[in-house]
Amino acid sequence: MERHEVEALLTLAEELHFGRTAQRLHVTTGRVSQTIRQLEHRVGVPLFERTSRKVALTPVGKQLVNDIQPAYEQLRAGLARAIEAGKGLDGELRVGFVGAAAAEMLINAEKVFGRRYPGCAVHLKEMHLGDAPERLRSGEIDIMLGCFPLAAIDLVTGPTLLTELWMLAAPASHPLARRSHVSTKDLAGQTFLEAPCGLSFDGTRPGPRAETFQEILTLVSAGKGIFAVGEHAIRFHDRPDIAYVPISNAPKLEWGPVWRATNENARVRGFVEALTGA
């Protein structure tokens, strides 16, 4: 059944009057009558008894209305919730982050967002390096602060919020640690830690795998390998046993908001505006 047929049937069943039904549906009486006749033709039996004095449901019509009504009400309720989620700013927003730099940006944005939209609660969730996109796709989080580029047709990337240099994280005793900068060619033959995200370089040897940033730093300190990190590591993870050296010819590292294409709503847009200062 088409939506206009369902609405005509259920409204006429309630009003039992073609004129009032037409008024409620904002169509002509003739349109209501035509829709009901077409529906009856498809069913094969009358759904309404019509006389000059009254309109009444037939037994088949009453049964059809009883069968359709619950599903139609559920559909309307679901549509109303979707519309409300699209334009409303109450409820909750789950925001994911990886690392201290992302957390700092999100905390500031949460304060701005909270002042603008006090009816929406923001929940910040720390994630591991590799599982953030999948937790976004699963619906566990609504938006995250991540690294660009993030090539995925189901994910939307917002404006770049932070651009920084890539730095080589190496043990303080490593020969490259004494350099003012390194190039990607200098990394050839070096043992490079494996991690779910980060730069990769030609000619490096694969080292141990790490799942968290703290694990990366621990392995670097232990001399198990070197790794490329963002420039913010100097501020948030300054350690005497690790040196951070700029990688001069590496592309810049960019950070920004990421969300599912199917989950762009007013809360997500509002938080992006809070992040960008709009």
Question: Domain 3-87 carries which CATH code?
Answer: 1.10.10.10
Instruction: Quote the CATH superfamily of domain 166-251.
Output: Periplasmic binding protein-like II (3.40.190.10)
Distances (CA, A) of 137 to 134, 144, 214, 240, 259: 5, 11, 25, 39, 8
Q: Where are the domains of the chain?
A: 3-87, 91-161+254-276, 166-251
Q: What was the pLDDT predicted at 90?
A: 76
Query: Each residue of 56-99: pLDDT tens digit?
Result: 999 999 999 999 988 888 887 777 666 656 556 778 899 998 88
For residue 157, how far is the Cα from the chain centroid? 10
Contact 256, 157 (CB under 8 A): yes
Residue 278 has pLDDT above 70, yes or no: no
91-161+254-276 shares its CATH topology with 166-251 = yes
Q: What is the dihedral angle through the alpha carbons of 247, 242, 228, 96, rounded to the nearest 10 degrees?
A: -130
DSSP element (H, E) containing 5: helix 3-15
Say what the pTM is: 0.63
**Domain 91-161+254-276 maps to which CATH number in 3.40.50.300, 3.40.190.10, 3.40.720.10, 2.60.40.1080?**
3.40.190.10
Q: What was the pLDDT predicted at 41?
A: 92
Phi, psi angles (nearest 5°) of residue 265: -135, -175
Query: Each residue of 118-154: pLDDT tens digit?
Result: 889 999 998 877 777 888 888 899 999 887 766 667 8
Q: What is the dihedral angle through the alpha carbons of 164, 168, 169, 170, rounded to the nearest 10 degrees?
A: -160
